[in-house]
């Protein structure tokens, strides 16, 4: 992949997508796959904000049933299956265990059992997957004794029983987002990160006909012409609208903060779910031999550019966890890493962001006098592909084109052309006995059919075979990220192209090796390497005050 704004852009596009999170990535892929001339620009790195701040799940949204959002749940469950199909290396079934204890009166096993039966019914086609090994059984109720056998680390106040059901894990959301980006590029889309929209271009009648973009790496502004602009800026969507209106209006968008903390391993194979006194849920998610604990749902006001995870937010999550479990189960010393992001919500979430719908809206801004602009707000990772399909349906109508059938639910994502994931992992190990078992498995799952090019780099240069962590990640991934995946900073590499730092600071020695390797590829001098190291260490620092 190449940053399209590094070369003169002389032709007009049908569609300009603003925002490189999962929504923008899915929209760009959908548009390009239907033959629309498409360009995507992202002001930072792909999937650096909300799309990186997830619970690593692709789920149907069981709790949305409490709001009688049956349509949203059905859509989510259908798209969960689609994600399993088109991204088999990234998305796979994972067991969920909901603990029924004495903390919350609403945590009623009988009532929740009714909800789970509805959940099963709404996912009636869950086992119609391309890879037949991805079976999802119906839910079942288990006794406390069995629950403790399945997950010995459970802590509960007077556990009555537990419910076990299935959703899907999303093992690396940032790389899954990148797979959508690569799929768009494969179909002819142009893309660029570190490309910030500074304003809109309009004709004499006020119709939007393009955007002005600042290349933040080169420090120059370019103009991109296009017939339609799709605003996929997530928590920044209303601010982008303000640029289009030439004012600072923030529209109806509300923002909710969600954070997670990474700790040592606390659960085995199940995502263990607890209900707090206020009937909110938090999860303990097994991930890379560690545990993610989250998430929160707190209103956020202010400039989203200024958002950072705070010690107050971490302590608030820990307090909720410890009060629910009835013991000091988590302390600041347990936190290896903390990450968070802002969710865009389409309802007034000032009072209760947790209960606010995760539905999305696709809005034709022509109704506000901004012809040529469409805004997408809300939504979630699971339904991003279907959201994109509907958004491009609207764009085709606006362009006066005959509607074309969406192909994206019927094709593997780029790098994920894998009919049988278990066989693929075994075959990768068989073909690459000169690499360790951990390396083979990690690359097979996170790079899919791009595993071999990464290994080829390592074989060509012995130093790139060096293993960097317990998962078996190697230095060749760093070179691959720069040459083929548009990584331009150390944080891009260790947080969004690889998992080198997603469990927390991997240590000075590892970071320096990665920085020197990246610097050699990108032409960094010693001062730039030092700056990248300082900035990355600060990003990984767990706030304590």
DSSP output for 264-291: S---SSSEEEEE-TTS-EEEEEEETTEE
Instruction: Summarize pLDDT for 395-445 with one digit per residue, the tens.
Output: 999 999 999 999 999 999 999 999 999 999 999 999 999 999 999 999 999
CATH 3.50.50.60 fits 4-50+174-252+359-399, yes or no: yes
Instruction: Summarize pLDDT for 148-171 with one digit per residue, the tens.
Output: 999 999 999 999 999 999 999 999
User: How confident is the model at residue 354, as a pLDDT?
Assistant: 45
Q: Are the beta carbons of 272 and 97 closer than 8 angstroms?
A: yes
User: How confident is the model at residue 359, as a pLDDT?
Assistant: 65
Number of neighbouring beta carbons within 10 Å of residue 3: 18
User: How confident is the model at residue 423, as a pLDDT?
Assistant: 97
Q: Are the beta carbons of 46 and 20 closer than 8 angstroms?
A: yes
Q: Give me the CATH code for the 91-169+254-345 domain, please.
A: 3.30.9.10
User: How confident is the model at residue 317, as a pLDDT?
Assistant: 97
Q: Is the pLDDT of residue 66 over 90?
A: no
Phi-psi region at 54: left, alpha or beta (left = phi > 0; alpha = psi -120 to 50) = beta
Q: What is the rounded distance in angstroms from the CA atom of residue 119 to the CA atom of residue 100? A: 18
User: How confident is the model at residue 349, as a pLDDT?
Assistant: 42
Q: Tell whether omega for the bond before 15 is within 30 degrees of 0, i.e. cis.
A: no
User: How confident is the model at residue 240, as a pLDDT?
Assistant: 95
Instruction: Summarize pLDDT for 209-267 with one digit per residue, the tens.
Output: 999 999 999 999 999 999 999 999 999 999 999 999 887 555 567 899 999 999 999 99
User: How confident is the model at residue 253, as a pLDDT?
Assistant: 79
Instruction: Summarize pLDDT for 83-104 with one digit per residue, the tens.
Output: 999 999 999 999 999 999 999 9
Instruction: Summarize pLDDT for 282-335 with one digit per residue, the tens.
Output: 999 999 999 999 999 999 998 999 999 999 999 999 999 999 999 999 999 999
Helix segments in 34-171, DSSP class H: 70-86, 109-122, 144-150
Mean pLDDT over 41-54 rounds to 97
Mean pLDDT over 489-499 rounds to 98
Q: Are the beta carbons of 95 and 164 closer than 8 angstroms?
A: yes
Q: Is the pLDDT of residue 539 over 60?
A: yes
Architecture of the domain made up of 421-540: Orthogonal Bundle (1.10)
* Total number of residues shown for the chain: 545
Q: What is the rounded distance in angstroms from the CA atom of residue 543 to the CA atom of residue 535? A: 15
Mean pLDDT over 5-26 rounds to 94
The residue ranges of every structural domain in the chain are: 4-50+174-252+359-399, 91-169+254-345, 421-540
Q: Is the pLDDT of residue 4 over 70?
A: yes
Q: What are phi and psi of 489, to 5 degrees?
A: -135, 165
Q: Is the pLDDT of residue 389 over 50?
A: yes
Q: Is 324 in a helix, a strand, or coil?
A: helix
Helices 70-86 + 109-122 axis angle, to 10? 60
Which whole-number Å values give the CA distances from 145 to 141, 154, 542, in the listed order? 12, 11, 37
What share of residues in the chain are helix, strand, coil (percent, to 5)? Answer: 40, 20, 40
Instruction: Summarize pLDDT for 336-361 with one digit per residue, the tens.
Output: 999 999 998 875 544 444 444 446 78
Band of pLDDT at residue 206, cut at 50, 70 and 90: confident
Q: What percent of the chain has pLDDT over 70?
A: 97
Q: What is the rounded distance in angstroms from the CA atom of residue 470 to the CA atom of residue 455? A: 18
Averaged confidence pLDDT in the chain: 94
Q: What is the rounded distance in angstroms from the CA atom of residue 515 to the CA atom of residue 67? A: 48
Q: Is 49 in a helix, a strand, or coil?
A: coil
User: How confident is the model at residue 379, as a pLDDT?
Assistant: 79
Q: What is the gyration radius of the CA atoms in the chain, in angstroms?
A: 23
Mean pLDDT over 471-486 rounds to 98
Q: Which residues of 464-496 are buried (b: 16+ CB within 10 A; e: fewer)?
A: bbeebbebbbbbbbbbbbbebbbbbbbbbbbbb
């Amino acid at each position: 992949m190449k940053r399209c704004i590094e070369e003169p852009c002389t032709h007009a596009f049908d569609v300009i997508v603003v925002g490189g999170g999962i929504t923008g990535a899915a929209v760009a892929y959908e548009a390009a796959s239907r033959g629309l001339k498409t360009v995507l620009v992202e002001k930072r790195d792909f999937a650096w904000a909300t799309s990186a701040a997830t619970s690593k799940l692709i789920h149907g949204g069981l709790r949305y049933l409490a709001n009688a959002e049956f349509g949203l749940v059905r859509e989510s469950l259908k798209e969960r299956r689609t994600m399993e199909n088109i991204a088999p290396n990234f998305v796979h079934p994972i067991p969920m265990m909901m603990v029924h204890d004495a903390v919350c009166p609403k945590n009623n096993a009988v009532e929740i059992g009714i909800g789970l039966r509805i959940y099963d019914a709404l996912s009636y086609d869950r086992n119609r997957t391309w890879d037949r090994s991805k079976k999802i059984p119906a839910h079942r109720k288990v006794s406390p004794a069995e629950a403790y056998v399945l997950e010995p680390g459970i802590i509960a106040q007077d556990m009555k029983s537990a419910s076990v059901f299935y959703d899907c894990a999303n093992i690396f959301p940032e790389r899954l987002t990148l797979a959508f980006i690569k799929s768009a590029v494969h179909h002819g889309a142009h893309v660029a990160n570190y490309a910030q929209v500074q304003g809109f271009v309009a004709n004499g009648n006020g119709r939007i006909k393009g955007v002005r973009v600042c290349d933040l790496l080169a420090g120059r502004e370019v103009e991109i012409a296009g017939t339609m602009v799709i605003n996929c800026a997530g928590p920044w969507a209303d601010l982008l609208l303000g640029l289009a209106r030439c004012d600072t209006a923030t529209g109806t968008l509300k923002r909710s903060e969600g954070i997670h903390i990474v700790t040592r391993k606390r659960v085995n194979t199940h995502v263990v779910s607890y209900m707090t006194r206020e009937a909110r849920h938090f999860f303990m998610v097994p991930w890379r031999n560690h545990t993610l604990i989250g998430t929160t749902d707190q209103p956020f006001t202010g400039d989203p550019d200024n958002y950072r995870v705070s010690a107050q937010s971490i302590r608030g999550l820990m307090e909720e966890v410890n009060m629910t479990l009835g013991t000091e189960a988590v302390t600041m010393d347990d936190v290896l890493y903390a990450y968070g992001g802002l969710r865009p919500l389409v309802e007034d979430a000032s009072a209760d962001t947790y209960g606010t719908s995760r539905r999305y809206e696709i809005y034709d801004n022509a109704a506000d006098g901004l012809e040529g602009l469409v805004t997408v707000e809300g939504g979630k990772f699971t339904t991003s592909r279907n959201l994109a399909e509907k958004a491009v349906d609207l764009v085709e109508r606006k362009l006066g084109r005959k509607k074309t059938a969406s192909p994206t639910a019927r094709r593997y994502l780029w790098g994920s052309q894998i009919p049988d994931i278990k066989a693929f992992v075994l075959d990768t190990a068989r073909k690459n006995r000169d690499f360790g078992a951990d390396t083979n498995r990690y690359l097979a799952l996170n790079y899919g059919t791009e595993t071999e090019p990464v290994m080829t780099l390592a074989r060509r240069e012995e130093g790139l075979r060096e293993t960097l962590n317990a998962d078996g990640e190697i230095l060749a991934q760093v070179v691959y990220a720069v040459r083929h995946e548009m990584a331009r900073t150390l944080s891009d590499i260790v947080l969004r192209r690889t998992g080198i730092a997603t469990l927390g600071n991997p240590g000075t020695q590892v970071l320096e090796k990665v920085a020197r390797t990246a610097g050699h590829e990108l032409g960094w001098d010693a001062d730039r390497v030092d700056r990248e190291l300082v900035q990355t260490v600060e990003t990984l620092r767990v706030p304590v005050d």
